[in-house]
Structure 1
């Protein structure tokens, strides 16, 4: 079951301190309490791609036999899935990484637990003006995500590509742009809401390079020939996972967590996103 909430991000780029966030495996005996003849509805908030696609695949192919019915609610932002989980509007959500969740819990006081990583959406550097990272010229405008956690991820991909140097955990576009040591090419660093980055990249000729989240690459149907660099999926700590309110490990959540790590879901991810824009993390 799919619902759609088209919502705008209201976050502003701000440097947040990160803290460690532990995972918690569901402990309920799902098999003992779930009934395929009377499936338990679980309401899960998710980003449209690939999270909602994965959940809908499970709902259509695996859920009924397992005794659950997934009510998928789509969000176009990174704020409301957690506020909706905290206020009880959702039973769980599936859209975020360990570092992002840690920041949210520290800043907003959420008491959440989460499962194991399901997939990675690698941060990817695109350009219409340059064929290779080494071709990027001095003063080029670079657009990044304004979410602090993903902005750092993007800056580290730029560092790996040789466009920035010595990036620290608390760096941002504000601190790095005028720093000759970290930004030797004098790149003009700008940021925008995650879902707006590909839109600006496609429509604004002043943007020479853009760093884009994997799920928005898929949604925007960007040209893979324009990729300059991409975050590696190997041992990547930025996997997305299922999140729920701490202490509320229901049988339905336990079963969904199990299904998210099934062979069927791994095969679905590998076949659906065979371009590397989404990578199974299990």
Structure 2
């Protein structure tokens, strides 16, 4: 069994201390009347939360404070430690894997949107044109790497072993007719890798942050049908009934926020139930 790999692992200890210091002023400690402190990655979660804060929260009687993070680890560690009240940036398989590997007890409250993963290339316009021996960069965290391999397998580029699950790795590739070479990278580095590889499978938020349009620029994009990777609003177990969390969940799943996502991302991010 392989060890779960997480982003920025080498610097996790130092980064955690910095992050908790940065966020320390925020947690309401369960005060139902205080600000709800929500951790996000900048795009799209940060932009969606900013819209809620600016346009909807005051009318709903919700005081929101937004904390941005540049990785996938610290928003969960800060939530577990109590520096955040909630976070929005991850899908359920990642949350499950994080809880298992880090012994945390974080739970989803609401599914909000699907940020479809895509394959990007500066070398070819069609996956079928990838040359034999092409180098394909993939995320190096367990659940997103497995997601990338499932996406490639869906187009027949590779065939996975029958027992390969959502955490599939290069070791689970049963057939590789083009003899593709897989380069495992931190997800945040994948957009920058496009100059050095033939193709890269990139998480939606990092693609958007790098100025890519998943809808226009991806040569392959996930579909919403039966997709398990909707991003969720998450809290620490036991906080699901916090009235502020319930208000935020209602706002995030409202028609107003769905319209904002549709208008802003033009199909590059899909509100739940609209894809």
TM-score by length of 1: 0.81
Match of 2:187 among 194, 212, 217: 194
Aligned counterparts, 1:211-250, within 5 A: 211-222=201-212, 226-248=217-239, 249-250=241-242
Judge conservation of contact 1:115–1:243 (CA < 8 Å) in 2. Answer: yes
**Residue 235 of structure 1: CA displacement?**
2.2
**Residue 133 of structure 1: CA displacement?**
1.2
- Distance in 1 of aligned mates of 2:64 and 2:94: 24
TM-score by length of 2: 0.83
- Please identify which structure carries the higher helix content: 2
* Aligned residue number for residue 131 of structure 2: 137
Helix, strand or coil: the match of 2:190?
helix
Match of 1:99 among 81, 93, 103: 93
Alignment of 1:172 onto 2:163: no
**Residue 9 of structure 1: CA displacement?**
3.6
Match of 2:256 among 249, 264, 268: 264
* Aligned residue number for residue 79 of structure 1: 73
1:135-158, CA deviations, whole angstroms, 9 ceiling, x for partnerless residues?
A: 111100000111110111111111
Judge conservation of contact 1:131–1:226 (CA < 8 Å) in 2. Answer: no
Rate the CA distance shift 1:114–1:51 in 2: closer, same or farther, 3 A.
same
**Residue 259 of structure 1: CA displacement?**
0.5
Judge conservation of contact 1:117–1:281 (CA < 8 Å) in 2. Answer: yes
Judge conservation of contact 1:125–1:230 (CA < 8 Å) in 2. Answer: yes
Helix, strand or coil: the match of 2:192?
helix
Judge conservation of contact 2:136–2:183 (CA < 8 Å) in 1. Answer: yes
Match of 2:53 among 36, 54, 59: 59
Alignment of 1:128 onto 2:122: yes
- Distance in 2 of aligned mates of 1:81 and 1:151: 20
Judge conservation of contact 1:122–1:230 (CA < 8 Å) in 2. Answer: yes
* Aligned residue number for residue 116 of structure 1: 110
- Structure 1 segments unaligned to the other structure (5+ residues): 1-7, 13-32
- Distance in 2 of aligned mates of 1:101 and 1:64: 30
- Distance in 1 of aligned mates of 2:56 and 2:212: 31
- Structure 2 segments unaligned to the other structure (5+ residues): 1-5, 11-30
Rate the CA distance shift 1:10–1:208 in 2: closer, same or farther, 3 A.
same
- Distance in 1 of aligned mates of 2:243 and 2:216: 45
Helix, strand or coil: the match of 1:118?
strand
* Aligned residue number for residue 9 of structure 2: 11
